[in-house]
Amino acid sequence: MNAPNKSGWKPEMTAADDGMHSGPQTVTGNRALMLEEPLIFELAGTDTTGVDLPEIENGANRLGGMERTAPVGLPGLSEPETVRHYTRLSRQNYAIDLGLFPLGSCTMKHNPRLNEKVARMPGFADVHPLQPVSTVRGALEVINELAFWLIDLTGMHGVAMSPKAGAHGELCGILCIRAALEARGDPREVILVPESAHGTNPATAAFAGYRVENIPANADGRVDLEALKARLGPDVAAVMITNPNTCGLFERDMKAISDAVHAAGGFVYCDGANFNAIVGKVRPGDLGVDAMHINLHKTFSTPHGGGGPGSGPVVLSEALSPYGPLPFTARTADGVVHLVEEENAAEFDHTRAFGRMTAFHGQMGMFTRALAYILSHGADGLRQVAEDAVLNANYILRSLDDLLEAPFGESGPCMHEALFGDRGFGEGLSTLDLAKSLIDEGYHPMTMYFPLVVHGAMLIEPTETESKAGLDQFIAALRNVAERARASDASMKQAPYYAPRRRLDETLAARKPVLAWSDPNSA
Ligand SMILES: *Cc1c(COP(=O)(O)O)cnc(C)c1O
């Protein structure tokens, strides 16, 4: 049971209080073995301590006047109290290990335990980036082997392993493009981005100093090739295209797009966040792509979301590889894998690097996990990943398109994700209300209001890790909330009813975050 606390904290109203759900009130606010939990500052006083340290005797003060003048003001809990606090909070969370995570564009898939076992091997887990190279040959071998697979799977020429997320990889790729253009004395100002692009694409282009212009889409949800061709010219540095795109569709004209961009002197950046749908099936290098980031935390199953960190290696074409950042690994004829840095870049014929993306080599813990995933699947297994991911997404699309608007349902099968809109919902009900109702059914909501090109968008990516039985259960839940939305069920406006917290003002929380605790009783 939770201790009563100083601030007079009270559990929030839940469904039982609304008369929605029969059952007695509990004095604790707990519901069966789901425990309510106050903030840690409300649980513990700042005048208690969880540790027992001896008084310092005759210790010379070496703080030189920097000593603290007031108490540190942190709550003091014992170890078991602390463990329980965080474990209780973790039970209010949702995770890929608990159930389906339908977030479109995010590729939330199972993280195989084998990856975790490999990543914990001391030779990988305990290395330090400043260790002498001679003591970390095995770790460098892993980075190099993963690099080989990424190059091979994409049909590209080189890879920068160090970027630490997809967005970071985008920046790396665009900086390579800028370096290549500057090297030929041809600074260009504009990067073209489709309207359906992930927000990181225009943000990256702007951050790298480019002006962003939108590329229009066809009625079928793909890039309008003729409109793109008409806009190309000597001021266009690059296009950034997501393939499969964020409407869940394969850009069939990709090769023609690349050819047109190259003919106009520009480069092709491909956002590879959706690579899961085509891994082992299509090599972006064959489509004329010059740079593409790969989110290891999406396609290659390394932990994602709250469990990060991410990792976003960027594969590069022959034209861009000379500008890739340091450091990187390279194998010499004697079979030894070396680390190429500023000191030895000339030896490896890599003197035009644009610089560094990170201090060190990249996310070692993600490299080991991704390589374990790749090797345990093999080339044929990876192809099956893509096929099953696409099959699962189409199963969802076709199991719901009689109840939910499928704006590109006529554009052929979808790839890794199914896209729906809110047309047909009853008066006053929105995508948000449907998503909140889905929480009551035990599912994390799908991606909402993205891509921006579809009104009230709902983007669902089941990934290949869901079984048919799991998908059927999810579809049944979604059909139920969709039917309620069409029937104008006003109770959806109050959902979620059964979550530890009811509907929050997310806009206010984002715009005016309260980041420090203040004692409500002292106000
Ligand atoms: C996830 C995603 C990104 C950004 O990747 P991060 O690893 O989150 O930085 C970019 N584009 C698309 C389409 C994505 O889905």
Confidence of residue 354 (pLDDT cuts 50, 70, 90): very high
What's the mean pLDDT in 235-263? Answer: 97
Cβ of residue 198 lying under 6 Å from some atom of ligand 1: yes
What's the mean pLDDT in 63-67? Answer: 91
Higher pLDDT, 350 or 4: 350
What's the mean pLDDT in 489-502? Answer: 94
Side chain identity, residue 484 = R
For 235, the token pair is 């001021």
Q: What does the H/E/C string look like for 242-285?
A: ECCCCCCCCCCCHHHHHHHHHHCCCEEEEECCCHHHCCCCCCHH
Residue 375 above 60 pLDDT?
yes
pLDDT of residue 72: 83
What's the mean pLDDT in 385-394? Answer: 98
For 424, the token pair is 């047909």
Cβ of residue 200 lying under 6 Å from some atom of ligand 1: yes
Q: Quick count: other Cβ atoms within 10 Å of Cβ 57? A: 5
Distance 348 CA to ligand 1 centre (A): 32
Q: Supply the DSSP symbol for 343.
A: T
Distances (CA, A) of 347 to 81, 174, 182, 226: 57, 26, 24, 45
Residue 19 above 80 pLDDT?
no
Confidence of residue 21 (pLDDT cuts 50, 70, 90): low
Confidence of residue 18 (pLDDT cuts 50, 70, 90): low
pLDDT of residue 1: 33
pLDDT of residue 14: 52
Side chain identity, residue 241 = I
Distance of CA 62 to the CA centre of its chain: 46
What's the mean pLDDT in 242-270? Answer: 97
pLDDT of residue 5: 43
Distance 276 CA to ligand 1 centre (A): 13
Side chain identity, residue 428 = G
pLDDT of residue 6: 42
Alpha carbons 437 and 434: distance in angstroms, whole number: 5
Tell which atom from ligand 1 comes closest to the C-alpha of 107.
15
Cβ of residue 246 lying under 6 Å from some atom of ligand 1: yes
Decide: helix, strand or coil at residue 451.
coil
Domains within the chain, CATH numbers bracketed:
116-370 (3.40.640.10), 378-510 (3.90.1150.10)
Alpha carbons 348 and 483: distance in angstroms, whole number: 62
pLDDT of residue 3: 41
Distances (CA, A) of 417 to 107, 391, 395, 447, 451: 9, 10, 10, 10, 12
Cβ of residue 312 lying under 6 Å from some atom of ligand 1: yes
Distance 151 CA to ligand 1 centre (A): 20
For 354, the token pair is 């644009």
* Percent of the chain predicted with pLDDT > 70: 95
Residue 300 above 80 pLDDT?
yes
Alpha carbons 280 and 414: distance in angstroms, whole number: 18
Closest Cα to atom 14 of ligand 1: 273
Condensed to tens digits (0 to 9), the pLDDT of residues 390-404 reads 999 999 999 999 999
pTM value?
Answer: 0.91
pLDDT of residue 55: 84
Sheet of strand 418-420, all strands in order from the earlier edge strand to the far edge:
418-420, 458-460, 447-448
pLDDT of residue 520: 74
Confidence of residue 8 (pLDDT cuts 50, 70, 90): very low
Residue pair 181/187 in contact by the 8 Å Cβ criterion: yes
The strand pairing partners of 460, in sequence order, are 103, 418
pLDDT of residue 233: 97
Q: Supply the DSSP symbol for 11.
A: P
Confidence of residue 523 (pLDDT cuts 50, 70, 90): low
The mean pLDDT value of the chain amounts to: 92
Confidence of residue 7 (pLDDT cuts 50, 70, 90): very low
Residue reference for tokens 């499928």: 406
Condensed to tens digits (0 to 9), the pLDDT of residues 278-297 reads 999 999 999 999 999 999 99
Confidence of residue 213 (pLDDT cuts 50, 70, 90): very high
Tell which atom from ligand 1 comes closest to the C-alpha of 169.
9
Alpha carbons 331 and 339: distance in angstroms, whole number: 9
Contact residues for 515 (Cβ-Cβ < 8 A; gap 6+): none
pLDDT of residue 17: 53
Residue pair 183/353 in contact by the 8 Å Cβ criterion: no
Cβ of residue 447 lying under 6 Å from some atom of ligand 1: no
What's the mean pLDDT in 489-494? Answer: 97
Q: Ligand 1 pocket: which of 172, 249, 295 to mutate (most atoms <8 Å of CB)? A: 295
- Mean pLDDT is lowest, of 63-67, 137-141, 436-440, for 63-67
What's the mean pLDDT in 40-63? Answer: 84
Distance 357 CA to ligand 1 centre (A): 17
Nearest to 393 by CA among 194, 195, 107, 112: 107
Distance 227 CA to ligand 1 centre (A): 26
Residue 174 above 90 pLDDT?
yes
Mind giving me the DSSP string for 123-186? Answer: HHHT--TTS-GGG-HHHHHHHHHHHHHHHHHHT-SEEE----SHHHHHHHHHHHHHHHHHHTT-
What's the mean pLDDT in 147-168? Answer: 97
Confidence of residue 35 (pLDDT cuts 50, 70, 90): confident
